[in-house]
C-alpha cells in the first residue's frame, strides 16, 4: 500500500502547490507577464471566449456562465472519471493478493515486491496511476481558468448574481467554507476503502482548500465548489447507490 500512499501524497502536494500559487498575488503578477506556449494560450483564450459567450447570454452574469461551463467541462470528463472508478474497483478486488505479496516480499526483498506487484497489475489490466488522472486534469483546468480570468477584463471585473466579485477573494467566507466542506465529502466518498495513512489526506486537503480559497479569486472557489458537487452526485450514482442496491 506504500505506493498508493505516495501516489495520494503526490497528488495532494501538487494540488496544494497549485492552489497556493493561484492564491498568491505575487504569482498573479508574474503569471500575467510570463509568455506561455501557443497551445496553452489557445486553451486560455478558448475558455475565455466560451465563458464570455455564455456571460453575454446571461445578461452579463459571468458567475452563471462559469457554472454552466463547469458543468460542460465535467460532462466531458465523465468518461475519464468512469474509467478511473472502474480501475479503482479492480484495485479493491486485488487487495487480498496485494496484501499477500506485501507480507511475503515487502520487508525481505523490496525489489521483488515491486516486480510482483507491477506484474499483478499488468496481468489484471490495472493502471495503478489511473486514479490520479481526474484530479490532475482538474488542476490543469483550474490553472487555465485562473489565467483566463486574470487576462480578461470582462471576467476579472464581473460579478455573480450582481453581488459577488469574481475577480477578488470572497469577503463573506461563504465560498471558502463551501469549498472546504464539499472537498471533504468528495474526498470521503472517493477514499472509502483506503488505509488510515492515506485517509489523512481527507482531513488535511479541505483545510488547505479553505485557507487558499480565502486568497484566491472567488471564481476559482466557485468553480471548485460546483465541480465538487458534480463529483459527489456522480459518485453517489456510480458507487454509493449501486453498492446499496447490491447489499
pLDDT in tens, 11-30: 444 444 444 444 444 444 44
pLDDT, residue 10, reads 43
pLDDT over 70 at 247, yes or no: no
Neighbouring-strand partners of residue 160: 164
pLDDT over 60 at 197, yes or no: no
Cα separation, 79 vs 58, in Å, equals 29
Using an 8 Å Cβ cutoff, are 131 and 7 in contact? yes
- Exposed / middle / buried, residue 182 (Cβ in 10 Å: 0-12, 13-18, 19+): buried
* pTM for this predicted structure: 0.69
Q: Is residue 186 part of a domain?
A: yes
Q: Among 22-26, 126-130, 225-229, which range has the highest average pLDDT? A: 225-229
Contacts 24+ apart (CB under 8 A), 31-35: 31/146, 31/147, 31/150, 32/150, 32/151
Q: Is residue 154 part of a domain?
A: yes
7 CB neighbour count, 10 Å cutoff: 15
pLDDT over 50 at 178, yes or no: yes
Q: Is residue 246 part of a domain?
A: no
C-alpha cell at 95: 487487495
Q: Is residue 244 part of a domain?
A: no
Neighbouring-strand partners of residue 164: 160
Q: How many domains does the chain have?
A: 1
Q: Is residue 232 part of a domain?
A: yes
pLDDT, residue 14, reads 46
Domain, as residue range, for 202: 2-239
What are the E-state strand segments in 62-167? 159-160, 164-165
Among the listed residues 186, 179, 86, the one whose alpha carbon sits nearest the alpha carbon of residue 131 = 86
Q: Is residue 30 part of a domain?
A: yes
pLDDT over 70 at 122, yes or no: yes
88 or 51, which is more confident: 51
Question: What percent of the chain shows pLDDT beyond 70?
Answer: 74
Amino acid at each position: 500500500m506504500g505506493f498508493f500512499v505516495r501516489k495520494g501524497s503526490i497528488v495532494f502536494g501538487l494540488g496544494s502547490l497549485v492552489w497556493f500559487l493561484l492564491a498568491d498575488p505575487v504569482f498573479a503578477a508574474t503569471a500575467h507577464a510570463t509568455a506561455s506556449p501557443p497551445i496553452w494560450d489557445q486553451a486560455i483564450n478558448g475558455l475565455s471566449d466560451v465563458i464570455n459567450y455564455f456571460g453575454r447570454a446571461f445578461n452579463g452574469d459571468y458567475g452563471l456562465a462559469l457554472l454552466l461551463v463547469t458543468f460542460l467541462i465535467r460532462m466531458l470528463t465523465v468518461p475519464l472519471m468512469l474509467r478511473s472508478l472502474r480501475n479503482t474497483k479492480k484495485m479493491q478486488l486485488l487487495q487480498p493478493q496485494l496484501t499477500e505479496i506485501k507480507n511475503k516480499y515487502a520487508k525481505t526483498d523490496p525489489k521483488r515486491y515491486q516486480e510482483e506487484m507491477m506484474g499483478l497489475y499488468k496481468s489484471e489490466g490495472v493502471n495503478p496511476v489511473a486514479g490520479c488522472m481526474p484530479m490532475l486534469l482538474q488542476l490543469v483546468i483550474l490553472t487555465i481558468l485562473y489565467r483566463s480570468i486574470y487576462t480578461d477584463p470582462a471576467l476579472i471585473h464581473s460579478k455573480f448574481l450582481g453581488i459577488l466579485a469574481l475577480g477578488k477573494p470572497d469577503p463573506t467566507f461563504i465560498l471558502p467554507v463551501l469549498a472546504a466542506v464539499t472537498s471533504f465529502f468528495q474526498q470521503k466518498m472517493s477514499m472509502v476503502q483506503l488505509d488510515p495513512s492515506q485517509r489523512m489526506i481527507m482531513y488535511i486537503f479541505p483545510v488547505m482548500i479553505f485557507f487558499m480559497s480565502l486568497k484566491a479569486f472567488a471564481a476559482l472557489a466557485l468553480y471548485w465548489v460546483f465541480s465538487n458537487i458534480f463529483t459527489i452526485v456522480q459518485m453517489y450514482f456510480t458507487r454509493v447507490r449501486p453498492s446499496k442496491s447490491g447489499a
